[in-house]
A and B are shown apart, each in its own frame.
Chain A
């Protein structure tokens, strides 16, 4: 194992994933360094969301492996064969990987504050007072201090998504995964969520972002990955990908998307 892969935050090696007969990921290899912001773009059905969900083992992979800081995610070797890891260990690794979902998935029976406090208390055993203090800090960070006691049903989509980001951050994750975090939002609410994501990127958070927001990819990404048909077609600096894509498939996709945006 080379030095570079050993220190990579995420190291995906030849990841394959089938849904029944359908091969959704056909050998994805991708490294994410500490502090790097990687944005994955591509047409729907390209496998980008599935790949993201494989990183924290919400989807099981059928071949290949994913290392988080050198530690295999979801599987361990036993007698030369890969078997699914114990639940406790998967949960421990997931607790260090924040995830933000397209549909927010806030807990509707808890207030914004309780949503954020829940995992630190239940998973890490953080004392209640400490968890609440931290939760209030995070709500302030996402600009929702006054919504601490509001239930998710009383919040707009953009507000819910910001609470969801705060909830993930409460676990002090090493890396944040964003699965089309703005796709379910009304257009006027997209900006407030992207602003929080930008701020996180500036603070040096390691991020893997699946998105259709090309402006975000262009401005914030350290590296843009273009996926299509279950493989990484092309990757590079945003400037190169957007102004000078090498692959025909990338050109076609960008032309369609940028036309739609214009």
Chain B
């Protein structure tokens, strides 16, 4: 029997099928998706904040931002995750976080499997901080791609810098930012798997938890890989749908129906309150 034959003989295909929809795996998928979305959104906000710190008149803010980006892009993500996990214990947060369960916090508990908040929060903080350093460059490229004449026109009409940013520059920069942001999220979905090292039952953590004791490690890694592929493939479709909606791929101004509600929301609130006063 050659090595390939012996491998095929020992590989338990039935175990893959059997565990593909195991409750712990499905719970792991939910954790992975929640962790990825939270980290990506927070990372994008951190990236935006870093952009404004870099161009602030107060120079030390810019230096802090540069140091931050240098640090988080220059060290391994896994090191950052481990460091922040350990930091929670130095800060005295380990015990209270360890005691509470993510799904109790979320209000439902599919497996009853203890899923402590401590690795989740630590992983989230590390992923978001790391992502922020990368998003800073993407946000900068997006904003700087907009013709300076746009801000000048906004200012000439009496808008302040922030009004011009929020109403004129950022909605346009969004088209430029969206494609790389989508790619970042694709990476994020997979980078979340590093948190299994601080014993979070994310998708990879769940696969390890089932696979190791039953000597089905490779089979459960296959299960995890199938689900990662499903997630990234679905995301690819969602991403192109979003980009179409925002006209990002057509490059034609006004090509997409444009309503970036995050930016529009404060106006709606303001208008309602203004109406109430009248």
Contact = CB atoms under 8 A, between A and B. Distances in A.
Contacts of B167: 118, 122
Interface in B114-163: 147, 149-150, 152-161, 163
B254 A154 contact: yes
Given A108-B253, A152-B254, A119 B152 contact: no
B185 to A, nearest CB: 23
B163 A109 contact: no
Contact of B157 (A88, A95, A108, A109): A95
Nearest to B148: A105
A146 interface: no
A91 B160 contact: yes
Interface string A109-141: 111000000110011110010000000000000
Interface string B162-205: 01000110011000000000000000000000000000000000
Given A108-B254, A109-B171, A109-B254, A91 B158 contact: yes
A12 B41 CA distance: 49
A95 B156 CA distance: 7
Contacts of B55: none
Nearest to A99: B156
A167 B168 CA distance: 14
Contact-residue bracket for chain B: 20 to 34
A94 B152 contact: no
A228 B271 CA distance: 49
A151 B254 contact: yes
Contacts of B271: 128
Contact of A101 (B153, B160, B163, B258): B153
Given A125-B274, A152-B254, A107 B158 contact: no
A153 B254 contact: yes
Contact of A171 (B150, B158, B171, B254): B158
Given A101-B152, A103-B149, A92 B168 contact: no
Contacts of A58: 152, 155-156
Contacts of A98: 156
Contacts of A123: 157-159, 163
Interface in A60-118: 87-88, 91-92, 94-99, 101, 103, 105-111, 118
A118 B157 contact: yes
Interface in B240-278: 252-255, 258, 271, 274
Contacts of A164: 153
B261 to A, nearest CB: 14
A56 interface: yes
Q: Considering residues B149, B153, B167, which has the most beta carbons from chain A within 10 angstroms of its beta carbon?
A: B153
B263 to A, nearest CB: 11
A168 interface: yes
A109 B153 contact: no
A151 B256 CA distance: 11
Nearest to A93: B158
A88 B160 contact: yes
Nearest to B162: A87
Contacts of B161: 87
A88 to B, nearest CB: 7
A167 B152 contact: no
Q: Considering residues A92, A96, A123, A171, which has the most beta carbons from chain B within 10 angstroms of its beta carbon?
A: A123
Interface of B: 147, 149-150, 152-161, 163, 167-168, 171-172, 252-255, 258, 271, 274
5 contacts: A97-B156, A103-B147, A105-B147, A107-B153, A109-B172
Given A58-B155, A125-B274, A167-B157, 5 more contacts: A87-B160, A94-B158, A103-B147, A119-B159, A171-B157
Nearest 6 interchain pairs by C-beta: A95-B158, A151-B254, A108-B253, A119-B157, A105-B153, A99-B156
